[in-house]
């Protein structure tokens, strides 16, 4: 057999194969063409997203969250300024700071709890327990205060009656007083 016959046979094979694929594609349809383009409603789209564990917000809900974030950022800036004043000695950390939320705090639920401090507990363990009992709202702030005040070694073992209306300073003083 000559090279000419081999090339003709190969070309014929490529042609037949291409023809078969083309006929299957055009006459039986492709996977892409079998998909029917249907418009889905907003409710169906919402249901699909919720089934995939997405949270969908309305524009109003989104705007409310953004406003709340802005408000919280402003509060953080005020607190950072106060912290700088305390560090510079301009304000005592024990001074009570009036805030616009002071009126709201008076209507909040006051939690009472008995904290048991056992041997071997770290400041972080105590702070986490206080936050779990709803006595304080930020365990890291309590931990930071105790470290900066040098009260880490002054914290005592025992049972302590605490309430959520106590400041971090009052809680730390109660846990370290004999």
pLDDT given at position 167: 92
Confidence of residue 91 (pLDDT cuts 50, 70, 90): low
- In the prediction, which pLDDT does 96 show? 46
- pLDDT tens, residue by residue, 45-85: 888 888 888 888 888 888 888 888 988 998 898 888 888 88
How far apart, in whole angstroms, are the C-alpha atoms of residue 150 and residue 93? 14
pLDDT digits (tens, 9 = 90+) for 96-126: 455 555 555 556 788 888 889 988 889 999 9
Percent of the chain with pLDDT strictly greater than 90: 24
Which of 84, 73, 70, 92 shows the shortest CA–CA distance to 169?
92
Q: Which CATH architecture has domain 107-176?
A: 2-Layer Sandwich (3.30)
Domain ranges across the chain: 107-176
């Amino acid at each position: 057999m000559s090279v000419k016959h081999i090339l003709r046979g190969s070309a014929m094979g490529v042609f037949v194969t291409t023809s078969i694929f083309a006929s299957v594609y055009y006459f039986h349809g492709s996977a892409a063409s079998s998909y029917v383009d249907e418009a889905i409603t907003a409710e169906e789209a919402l249901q699909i997203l919720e089934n995939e564990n997405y949270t969908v917000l309305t524009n109003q809900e989104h705007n409310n969250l953004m406003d709340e974030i802005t408000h919280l950022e402003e509060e953080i800036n005020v607190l950072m300024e106060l912290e700088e004043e305390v560090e510079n000695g301009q304000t005592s950390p024990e001074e009570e700071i009036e805030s616009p939320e002071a009126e709201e705090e008076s209507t909040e639920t006051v939690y009472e709890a008995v904290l048991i401090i056992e041997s071997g507990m770290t400041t972080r363990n105590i702070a986490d327990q206080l936050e779990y009992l709803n006595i304080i709202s930020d365990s890291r702030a309590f931990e930071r205060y105790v470290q900066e005040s040098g009260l880490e070694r002054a914290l005592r073992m025992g049972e302590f009656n605490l309430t959520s209306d106590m400041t971090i300073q009052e809680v730390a003083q109660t846990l370290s007083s004999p």
